[in-house]
Amino acid sequence: MLAALATLALIYLTYVTNTAVTVAVNTDRLQADALMNAGLELAAYRLTAQGEATRPTSGTFNARVGAGRVAVTFRSEAARIDLNMAPKAVLAGLMTGLGVSASDAPDYADRILAWRSSTETGQDNPEDSYYRTLGAPYLPRHAPFPHSDELWLVRGIPSAVIERVLPFVTVFSNMRTVNVLDAAPQVVAALPTMTPETLQRLLRDRADPNLDPRSLIGLAGSASATIEGSKAYRVTVAAEAPSHRQSSAEIVILLLESGDEPYRVLSWHNAFDGSAGKPL
């Protein structure tokens, strides 16, 4: 009898302990979600509180939210190369700068263009034939990329190249041009006619707060360069809950000009899925 009671007590103790742990974990997650949303709302407020002409294309700030804290970074998607809009020269330039040979990069860029380019129904498309020859269970979309991760489906480009390209591309800017004020050096280097010397000068000049940003366009010497932002922004929120649990998320939003909501979420990646902090 005593042994049975002891066993029952042990089972009950285990149940109570597990329940307490579960409640604590759920509480932490709820707090983290609340902080993520608060950080996103604060970023959206900063962006929508200003007119388009004066709206910053990038920025960072810290804020205390209740007993928690958030660190927020935002950047216009114009800082990335748009897979659906970029010309072949820019796509090839990006891959060349990332280590692809000058002979292979244009071919890989052609594969991307062929994937996104429309085709007439019933037309014998060479790219479709290429996929059939490879035994692929699908054909090119012949429409815009809905997500940059769809690049993995494009045949003829090594996976190692795709992995290197993804941090610098987007499908959300809807611009043929790249913001040279905010873009990563690898993106700026992809612009046609860009030389190593010009790249170093541009990176040095754009760090000068007293410089007129418009001078960077002339320095870049490319029709693919701009200092304008897009209406889509990538927001990274790093949060610390009152329990000191840390979490992060990377969210892409589209600022809306009218309607009841100031923005729409286009993409959301949390840290637990291994993607937060990594560009889409």
Among 12-26, 89-103, 123-137, 226-240, the range scoring the smallest mean pLDDT is: 12-26
Average of pLDDT values for 16-20?
43
- When the pLDDT of each residue in the chain is averaged and rounded to a whole number, the result is 88
pLDDT at 97: 96
Task: Give the pairing type, strands 232-240 and 246-255.
Answer: antiparallel
CA 97 – CA 94 distance, rounded (Å): 5
All residues at 6 or more sequence positions from 151 whose CB lies less than 8 Å from its CB, including other chains: 83, 112, 145, 157, 162, 165, 166, 169
Is 234:77 a contact under the CB 8 Å cutoff? yes
Distance CA 100, CA 110 (A): 14
pLDDT band at residue 1 using 50, 70 and 90 as cut-offs: low
Model confidence at 272, in pLDDT bands (50, 70, 90)?
A: low
Q: Which of 45, 86, 83, 35 is nearest to 255 (CA)?
A: 45
Give the rounded distance of the alpha carbon of 242 from its chain centre: 28
Q: What is the pLDDT of residue 280?
A: 34
| C-alpha R_g of the chain | 24
| Angstrom distance (rounded) from CA 129 to CA 59 | 46
pLDDT in tens, 231-249: 999 999 999 998 888 999 9
pTM: 0.84
Percent of the chain with pLDDT over 70: 86
Please, which pLDDT band fits residue 98 given cuts at 50, 70 and 90? very high
- Residue 121 is given by DSSP the state T
